[in-house]
Amino acid sequence: MLIKLSKMHGIGNDFILSDDRKSSISNEIDYGTLAKKLCHRRFGLGADGFIVAVSSKTHDIGFRIFNSDGSEAEMCGNGIRCFSKYIYEKSILMQKIINIETKAGSIVPLLDINFEGVVELVKVDMGEPVFEGKQIPCTLKEGRIVSEKIEVLGNELEITAVSMGNPHAVIFIENDMEDSLFFKLGPAIENLEIFPKKTNVEFVKVLSENEISVRVWERGAGETLACGTGACACVAACVLNNKTSEEVAVRLKGGSLDIKWNRANNHIFKTGPAKFVYETALELERIKNDL
């Protein structure tokens, strides 16, 4: 069976996407197993994650995402923008507003479409940030975890824990982090016992009340050039720690996202681009034989 695949990225956070609303792929191979093969940057196509369009009984369409290590994530902010552009430009759903079912709940993107029918920007209602430790989950203490001190590999850090449907540990830094320290602390924090489902990790440098710089260690993928849910979590953490306003430009390695926390309804909105890289098709049986 030949499966059609699209390579896309959202400011450098890259994904492979496929349409499996008829379950023809899942009937042949586990999504997580397929993700590990497709996302491998030496022996596969290479990507941070594998995104699948699936059918939904309660929403316009369903979204599932698997990290490059084969683990399934609840949601992905950059991935949902790529997904929205994908389903519109592939004529799967020709709607400017899409109600998408994810493991983190309902996500509703609004598409900015030009006169040529190309999706230029996607604004996504990312829902409400969660700060209660049990719901993130983070077991460090009861209640909110804001600027709590922990020690990791001999380094004293202050973390603010936030969930945007997936867990995040936000750490504020004064100076740019050296690679050697980033690649030690990232995986160490991701796998701390206080995060039962592991965690994404964001190191945040505040540039002004309306601008921050973020470096991302993504759960199950390692360093990524961007993280949409992470950008939202960072802005929420900034506001909780009185470091920025509710509207912030988030500068990531792959580009920028505009984040707004609407305190009136407690929802966070994220706006940014998504791009196609290339299209391909692979024989599924050959992939299975290579496993």
**Which residues are tagged catalytic?**
76, 227
Q: What are phi and psi of 106, to 5 degrees?
A: -80, 135
CA dist 14 and 104 (Å) reads 20
Identity at 12, one-letter amino acid code: G
Q: Cis omega before residue 137 (within 30°)?
A: yes
Three-state secondary structure call for residue 247: strand
26 token code pair: 């899942």
Give the integer Cα–Cα distance in Å for 102 and 72: 11
Helix (H, G, I), strand (E, B) or coil at 176: coil
**Beta strand 100-102 pairing with 72-73:** unpaired
Burial readout 81-106 (b: 16 or more C-beta within 10 A, e: otherwise): bbbbbbbbbbebeeeeebebbbebee
Residue 163, phi then psi, degrees to nearest 5: -115, 135
**Distance between CA atoms of residues 89 and 92, nearest Å:** 8
DSSP 194: T
Whether 220 and 72 have beta carbons less than 8 Å apart is answered as no
